[in-house]
Amino acid sequence: MKLADLELFVTAPPPPGWGGRYWIIVRVTTACGISGLGEIYAAGVGPEAMRAVIADVFERHMAGESPEDIEKLFRRAYSSGFTQRPDPTVTGAFSGLEMACWDILGKSRDRPVWALIGGRMNHRLRAYTYLYPSAHHAVPEFWVSPEMAAEAAAERLAEGWTAVKFDPAGPYTMRGGHMPAGTDISLSAAFCKAIRGAVGDKADLLFGTHGQFSTSGAIRLAEAIAPYDPLWYEEPVPPDAVGSMAEVARATSIPVATGERLTTKMEFAEVLRQGAARILQPALGRAGGIWEAKKIAALAEAYNAQMAPHLYAGPVEWAANVQFGVSCPNLLMVEAIESAFHETLVEGRPKVENGFVEAPTAPGLGITLNDEVAKVHAYQGDRLHLEMQDAPCDWQNGNVFGGGSAD
Domain residue ranges in the chain: 3-112, 116-363
Q: Which residue has the higher pLDDT, 17 or 208?
A: 208
Q: What per-residue confidence (pLDDT) applies to 404?
A: 57
Are 233 and 252 contacting, i.e. CB atoms less than 8 angstroms apart? Answer: yes
Q: What per-residue confidence (pLDDT) applies to 398?
A: 84
Quote helix, strand, coil % in the chain, to nearest 5.
40, 15, 45
For residue 73, what pLDDT band results from cuts at 50, 70 and 90? very high
Residue 407: pLDDT above 70? no
The pLDDT tens digits for 146-162 are 999 999 999 999 999 99
Burial 260-286 (b: 16+ CB within 10 A, else e): bbbbbbebbbebbeebbbbbbbbbbbb
CATH superfamily name and code, 3-112: Enolase-like, N-terminal domain (3.30.390.10)
Give residue 59's region: left, alpha or beta (phi > 0; psi -120 to 50): alpha
**Ordered DSSP codes for 188-236:** HHHHHHHHHHHHTTSSEEEEE--S-B-HHHHHHHHHHHGGG--SEEE--
Quick check: bond before 392 cis, omega within 30? no
Radius of gyration over every alpha carbon of the chain, rounded to an integer in angstroms: 20
Give residue 17's region: left, alpha or beta (phi > 0; psi -120 to 50): left
3 state SS of 121: coil
Per the prediction, the chain carries an average pLDDT of: 96
Residue 325: pLDDT above 60? yes
Query: Sign of the C-alpha dihedral, residues 46, 47, 49, 54?
Result: positive
Residue 406: pLDDT above 80? no
Q: What per-residue confidence (pLDDT) applies to 360?
A: 98
Average pLDDT score over residue span 230-255: 98
3 state SS of 113: helix
Residue 71: pLDDT above 80? yes
Spatial separation of the C-alpha atoms in residues 206 and 257, rounded to whole Å: 10
Give this prediction's pTM.
0.97
For residue 76, what pLDDT band results from cuts at 50, 70 and 90? very high
For residue 405, what pLDDT band results from cuts at 50, 70 and 90? low
- For 15-71, strand residue ranges (E) read 23-30, 35-40
CATH topology of domain 116-363: TIM Barrel (3.20.20)
